[in-house]
């Protein structure tokens, strides 16, 4: 087993990150990350570029994705690692999710228009690379337009259930998303389990369903986890005999609270998802 600095959950401009795949890979390498997974929301479109740069500069790139799922009326995220990014089944189903996203973005635009905020769809689309529109793009547009001081405020006041720009969506089914990842040769990880506002029993139920569907790991270390979350998720990983993963969920270099390459190490008593991976350490060129 290699002892590398891993970050197995990050975003680029292919979804709602602010760095291009190339810039992301370069920044990660400069920050001391040795194994980086690019896991954009519902798309694989950044992987080719990321892989080319990673090969050139000498950093290990894990092709990945973060799939949006609806389970028990809540949005859950499933990260796929080492997916074959040319897998037809995965690509076709991600295409469908992005079509649903496009419909939702138009709906959000209509709702904002009724609320006195004009051209939000066009504004959010212009901030995306045209491939995928996320609520994050709406948040950035509203900040630019002076409707809020930060993205968090936009989410709180406009983009969550009960607020004027919220549109209910049925994402992929848990079992389907895990299956697409497995069929694409990948490993499925339950992303940031600490973030879901489930009661303990519901979280255990989710993990049980996830594992039955073919999921193999929990994200133990995530920048959205408190230490309490982390301790709880480690216990659950042990109880369910699941592997453990680690990811920053990096989106934006301007968010100074999250610096690349500074995540805590996985606790010693976890079985890492990379236990059977074979990466070499590069010396940065």
Which positions lie near ligand AMP, rule CB under 6 A? 16, 41, 68, 134-136, 151-152, 155, 251
Size of the site for Mn ion (CB under 5 A): 5
State the nearest-atom distance from the C-beta of 268 to ligand AMP, in Å. 30
Nearer Cβ to ligand AMP, position 16 or 219?
16
- Environment class of residue 132 by beta-carbon count within 10 Å: exposed (0-12), middle (13-18) or buried (19+)? buried
* Spatial CB neighbours of 224, under 8 Å, sequence gap ≥ 6: 192, 194, 195, 249
Strand order of the β-sheet with 187-190 is 6-7, 35-38, 60-71, 74-81, 187-190, 217-222, 243-247
The residue count for the chain: 285
State the nearest-atom distance from the C-beta of 97 to ligand AMP, in Å. 10
CA 201 vs. chain centroid, Å, equals: 24
Q: Which does 68 bind (CB under 5 to 8 A by kind): ligand AMP, Mn ion, none?
A: ligand AMP
State the nearest-atom distance from the C-beta of 160 to ligand AMP, in Å. 7
Nearer Cβ to Mn ion, position 4 or 191?
191
Q: Around Cβ 30, how many Cβ atoms within 10 Å?
A: 13
Nearer Cβ to Mn ion, position 113 or 160?
160
Task: Please give the backbone phi and psi of residue 61, each rounded to the nearest 5 degrees, phi first.
Answer: -110, 125
Nearer Cβ to Mn ion, position 173 or 281?
173
In the range 50-79, which residues lie near Mn ion by CB under 5 A? 66, 77
Judged by CB under 5 A, which of 12, 13, 16, 125 binds Mn ion? 16
Judged by CB under 5 A, which of 42, 49, 219, 249 binds Mn ion? 249
State the nearest-atom distance from the C-beta of 79 to Mn ion, in Å. 7
State the nearest-atom distance from the C-beta of 169 to ligand AMP, in Å. 8
Task: Please give the backbone phi and psi of residue 113, each rounded to the nearest 5 degrees, phi first.
Answer: -60, -45
State the nearest-atom distance from the C-beta of 284 to ligand AMP, in Å. 29
State yes or no: residue 7 binds Mn ion (CB under 5 A). Answer: no
Q: How far apart are CA 58 and CA 51, in angstroms?
A: 10
- Site stretch for Mn ion (CB under 5 A), options 9-17, 87-95, 105-113, 114-122: 9-17
Whether residue 223 contacts residue 188, with contact meaning beta carbons closer than 8 Å, is answered with no
Q: Write the DSSP symbol of residue 71.
A: E
């Amino acid at each position: 087993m290699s002892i590398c600095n891993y970050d197995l959950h990050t975003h680029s401009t292919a979804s709602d990150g602010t760095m291009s795949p190339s810039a992301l890979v370069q920044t990660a390498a400069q920050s001391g990350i040795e194994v980086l997974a690019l896991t954009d929301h519902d798309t694989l479109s950044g992987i080719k570029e990321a892989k080319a740069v990673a090969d050139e500069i000498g950093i290990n790139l894990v092709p990945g994705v973060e799939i949006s799922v609806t389970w028990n009326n809540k949005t859950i995220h499933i990260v796929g690692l080492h997916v074959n990014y040319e897998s037809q089944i995965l690509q076709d189903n991600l295409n469908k999710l992005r079509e649903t996203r496009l419909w939702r973005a138009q709906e959000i635009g209509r709702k904002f228009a009724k609320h006195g905020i004009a051209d939000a769809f066009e504004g959010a689309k212009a901030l995306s690379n045209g491939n995928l529109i996320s609520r994050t793009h709406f948040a950035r547009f509203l900040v630019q337009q002076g409707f809020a001081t930060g993205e968090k405020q936009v989410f709180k006041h406009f983009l969550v259930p009960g607020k004027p720009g919220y549109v209910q969506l049925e994402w992929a089914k848990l079992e389907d998303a895990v299956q697409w990842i497995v069929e694409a040769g990948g490993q499925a990880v339950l992303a940031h389990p600490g973030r879901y506002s489930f009661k303990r029993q519901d979280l255990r139920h989710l993990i049980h369903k996830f594992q039955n569907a073919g999921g193999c790991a929990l994200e133990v270390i995530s920048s959205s986890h408190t230490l309490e979350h982390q301790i709880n998720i480690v216990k659950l990983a042990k109880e369910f005999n699941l592997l453990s993963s680690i990811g920053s969920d990096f989106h934006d270099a301007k968010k100074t609270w999250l610096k690349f390459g500074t995540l805590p190490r996985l606790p010693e008593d976890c079985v890492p998802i990379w236990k059977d991976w074979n990466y070499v350490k590069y010396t940065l060129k």
